[in-house]
Structure 1
Amino acid sequence: MATRTQARESVIGLLYAYDLGNEGIAKFVDEILEEKKIRNKQKEFALELFNGVVENIEAIDEELISHLTQGGINDTGSVEKSILRLAIFEIMFKGLDKAIVINEAIELAKKLASDSAPKFINGLLDKVSKKA
């Protein structure tokens, strides 16, 4: 059975594709999650996260942009942006434990993003969590 971490990792992949202009990815979410063996409760969780981020992307990006100190959102890598969007959604809209969300985002960044991403993501999400 898939874990929540694996569900989040799949959501980041979907958000990455979405960010690169593949808005049609939403039509294939079920198949992609099934392919990655994300099923049952974890599938519901992943769908809730993906759909929630997409539905609230303007508010999430507004929050993200307000905490960027150097460069804009377009200067942020797509993987990093996807991780941040997911974590900001979980903090702002799901009310999940901020420390757990931040830790999960950092671990996913270590696995999926650039070497400097974990520190960047930690700093930005820390600011978001203090405001939320």
Structure 2
Amino acid sequence: MSRRAVRSEAMKFIYAKTLNDSFTLGEFLFSLTKIKNPKEKEDLELLVQSIIRVEDKIENFIKQCSEEYEKLNHLDISILKVGAFELLYSNLPKSIVINEAVEIAKEYGDDVSKAIVNAILDCIGAHYER
């Protein structure tokens, strides 16, 4: 599996957690994730825990770059949370983070998801330093 698979699985967990707050990372790692490689599972767990730890901050950055945050669907917000976290808290190049999030949006979102994800992450990348 790839780093994109880890990001996709992290997005799926964030999305599932949005729909059911009692859903745990342990349940997800045990039964739902497609990732079986122990190192990738560890990377997924670390990524999700890190996002959850700063989720309120990330959400504020997303809101500041979205005029209509309330109209965003939960899936797009989940993709944005993973992307925004990587923009703000990793050493990955902005172009790679944004491209990966857009690719995930193309795969899982609707027709406008990729444009929304691209625009909001571009705004976050341009206005907020790590």
Normalising by structure 1, what TM-score? Answer: 0.88
Residue in 2 aligned with 1:36? 34
Corresponding position: 1:112 with 2:108: yes
In 2, the alpha carbon distance for the partners of 1:55 and 1:39 equals: 24
Shift of 1:18: 0.9
Greater than 2 Å deviation, 4+ residue runs: 21-27
> Which structure 2 segments of 5+ residues have no match?
none
Shift of 1:48: 1.4
Q: Answer whether contact 1:17 1:25 (CA < 8 A) is retained.
A: no
Normalising by structure 2, what TM-score? Answer: 0.90
Q: Answer whether contact 2:84 2:124 (CA < 8 A) is retained.
A: yes
In 2, the alpha carbon distance for the partners of 1:10 and 1:32 equals: 12
Q: Answer whether contact 1:7 1:38 (CA < 8 A) is retained.
A: no
Shift of 1:39: 1.7
Shift of 1:47: 1.1
RMSD in angstroms over aligned alpha carbons?
Answer: 1.5
Name the % identity.
25
> Which structure 1 segments of 5+ residues have no match?
none
Q: Write out per-residue CA displacement over residues 3-45 of structure 1, whole angstroms, 9 at most, x where no aligned residue.
A: 1111111111101011113343223132146x51342222122
Shift of 1:51: 0.7
Residue in 1 aligned with 2:46? 48
Corresponding position: 1:18 with 2:14: no
Residue in 1 aligned with 2:79? 83
Q: Write out per-residue CA displacement over residues 31-79 of structure 1, whole angstroms, 9 at most, x where no aligned residue.
A: 146x51342222122111111111110100011111112x23x321111
AA at the equivalent of 2:99: N
